[in-house]
Structure 1
């Protein structure tokens, strides 16, 4: 299970993210980027953050350490920003924290070089978890002390938004043409040979066990939270063995307006425009 701390002070929002994460201080004297259960994307984004973040860390990728953060809504009473105040009030209880990397900067593929081996490991991992949100438009990577760190895995494992179709969805290929690291000639075969054998049933079971019960309850079609955890294992295990053969690296698409749904971007108008298109 995740270690737990208690938030003692809300510092500032991070408005780059659609879910409005914030920087908080906790009773262990640590500083965290906090993602809230009351955000519009819902608790499944937090489940994805835990499953994929913990899996990435276990595979040796650089992902900030994850922590459960207990939040007392009273912290929001002193916030002058009404949006932040409402978010804090709606997020009492257990939320998700990621270790804050002070001084880190956003990854720019034109400013930083990534060797093919590391690029291959990251692209293979993103293919495994079906990460649709690490493109050249939105890298979701940080550079800290000269190393690349992976963040924001809430938009992964799309199949867990529709469990009846999960097996078919998890069997689909992965188009990495727009991946932010596609330009670095990622060595996919080497990554698969190194990482796929590590993704065992035991490892996935341990990773799924880190998801708090309260984020898994009341999922339609599952009698228990353990049954739901098992569904994550059954979706990822066969994908790990074969996804390397179904990764496409073609020409990147031309710049165009984002077609990401409003639940992902945090912009309700995106759904309205899509519906009216």
Structure 2
């Protein structure tokens, strides 16, 4: 019997430092399991939608056999952060009470540099395919969002994916979009096997797997003031977006292949 997909829940015990590389002010923190995590706050710029994108993006990548850090739910106590001197960070912490998201901190990891490290064609193709599927705008030469840890490639930061959810209109149109920004993907030059990995990835991302991943989303992230849909209806919208996108994957594959030809 297959093990049910679940995320652990930890309680943040110590705020270590802000990680100012991103606009959302993630932090390095320690939790009650004595591990360090990169903590993503629901009180940051794009709120829970960035956490939703992070969770779904990471777990889809994991389902495809790509390496991503463990994702956990991270509880932030009401009293947490009162000793923080930086007012901006204190406001962020106070606005993030309750359930947030955290990724296991890969201590000693270095930022992926395409000049230094060459990624094999199959892996590159699979990562480009993933980012085209989830419309992830943020894996470019300027910001690769990949790390080398123990001589292996790890994917991080999927919070900018699924950007259709910031407007929440024309969802089917977004699902069938070619995703033109794939032209800026850092691994596009090596992605020669997109057609081949398409079949492999779609076989792994069954409807059951998609539903299992999206159903990880906690209720408290799914009560949006600007729309009337219930948490279950919001989950179903993400599921249908992904299923439609998978069904029409030839649209984003052709866009990536055409962009790659333009590069070389």
TM-score if structure 1 supplies the norm length?
Answer: 0.86
**Is 1:27 matched up with 2:13?**
no
- Does the 8 Å CA contact 1:21/1:34 hold for their aligned counterparts? yes
- Does the 8 Å CA contact 2:28/2:36 hold for their aligned counterparts? yes
**Is 1:139 matched up with 2:159?**
no
> How many angstroms apart in 1 are the aligned matches of 2:204 and 2:145?
24
Unaligned residue ranges in structure 2 (runs of 5+): 1-5
Note the aligned Cα RMSD (angstroms). Answer: 1.6
Partner in structure 2 of residue 124 of structure 1: 129
- Does the 8 Å CA contact 1:128/1:236 hold for their aligned counterparts? yes
Helix, strand or coil for the counterpart of 1:78?
coil
Unaligned residue ranges in structure 1 (runs of 5+): 253-277
The equivalent position to 2:157 in structure 1, one of 140, 152, 158, is: 152
Deviations 1:190-234 (A, max 9, x none): 210210122221111100111111001136555421111111111
> How many angstroms apart in 1 are the aligned matches of 2:228 and 2:234?
6
- The 5 Å alignment of 1:38-117 reads 38-117=43-122
> How many angstroms apart in 1 are the aligned matches of 2:19 and 2:138?
18
Partner in structure 2 of residue 246 of structure 1: 254
Deviations 1:134-162 (A, max 9, x none): 11111111111111111111111122222
Partner in structure 2 of residue 5 of structure 1: 10
Helix, strand or coil for the counterpart of 2:144?
coil
- Does the 8 Å CA contact 1:76/1:89 hold for their aligned counterparts? yes
- Does the 8 Å CA contact 1:56/1:63 hold for their aligned counterparts? yes
> How many angstroms apart in 2 are the aligned matches of 1:136 and 1:211?
31
**Is 1:236 matched up with 2:237?**
no
- Does the 8 Å CA contact 2:176/2:248 hold for their aligned counterparts? no
> How many angstroms apart in 2 are the aligned matches of 1:135 and 1:219?
33
| Number of aligned residue pairs | 252
Deviations 1:222-253 (A, max 9, x none): 5421111111111111212332443332446x
- Does the 8 Å CA contact 2:10/2:32 hold for their aligned counterparts? yes
Helix, strand or coil for the counterpart of 2:183?
coil
The equivalent position to 1:227 in structure 2, one of 212, 228, 233, is: 233
Helix, strand or coil for the counterpart of 2:51?
helix
> How many angstroms apart in 1 are the aligned matches of 2:69 and 2:129?
19
- Does the 8 Å CA contact 1:53/1:63 hold for their aligned counterparts? yes
Distance verdict in 2 for CA 1:221–1:73, change over 3 Å: closer
